[in-house]
């Protein structure tokens, strides 16, 4: 089954503990879609684009050829998940998850499911 960007954003917000989600183009740092509240997702998209670029550059310098599945940033009360989308080069899903309400393993699994469904 394939899903539109809007449907995928809704699915991301259906993950237990989800506070916000975005679809981001890391080639230019632009937020293509966003949902949720509590933070400036345009600013988060731009900042996380720098994280992705830095990691990709480091991997290239190290000669690592495998792709990145996801990047996890752990805050005292939140998880920030960045999931690269190999089927849609240059894009990543960004999910902000409340640590007390969410399950990190389940969130990673569900983001993978959303990735497979996304049709652009």
Q: What is the dihedral of CA 92, 97, 99, 102, to 10 degrees?
A: -100
pLDDT in tens, 27-42: 999 999 999 988 999 9
CATH number, position 98: 3.30.450.30
Please tell me the predicted confidence (pLDDT) of residue 1: 65
Q: What range does the domain containing 65 cover? A: 5-117
8 Å CB contact between 82 and 115: no
The C-alpha angle 57, 9, 112, rounded to 5 degrees, equals: 55
Please tell me the predicted confidence (pLDDT) of residue 90: 94
DSSP string covering 69-96: -EEEEE-SSEEEEEEE-TTSTTEEEEEE
* Host H or E run for residue 35: strand 30-36
H helices present in the chain, as ranges: 5-13, 41-62, 104-117
Please tell me the predicted confidence (pLDDT) of residue 66: 86
pTM listed for this prediction:
0.94
- Give the count of beta carbons closer than 10 Å to the beta carbon of residue 36: 16
**Count: domains in the chain:** 1
Residue ranges in the chain modelled with pLDDT below 70: 1
């Amino acid at each position: 089954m394939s899903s539109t960007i809007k449907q995928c954003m809704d699915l991301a917000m259906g993950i237990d503990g989800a506070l916000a989600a975005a679809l981001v183009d890391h080639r230019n740092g632009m937020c293509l879609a966003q949902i949720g509240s509590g933070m400036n997702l345009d600013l988060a998209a731009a900042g996380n684009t720098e994280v992705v670029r830095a990691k990709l550059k480091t991997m290239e310098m190290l000669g690592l050829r495998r792709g990145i599945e996801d990047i996890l940033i752990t805050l005292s009360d939140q998880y920030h998940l960045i999931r690269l989308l190999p089927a849609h080069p240059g894009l990543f899903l960004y999910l902000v998850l409340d640590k007390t309400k969410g399950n990190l393993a389940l969130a990673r699994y569900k983001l993978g499911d959303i990735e497979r469904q996304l049709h652009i």
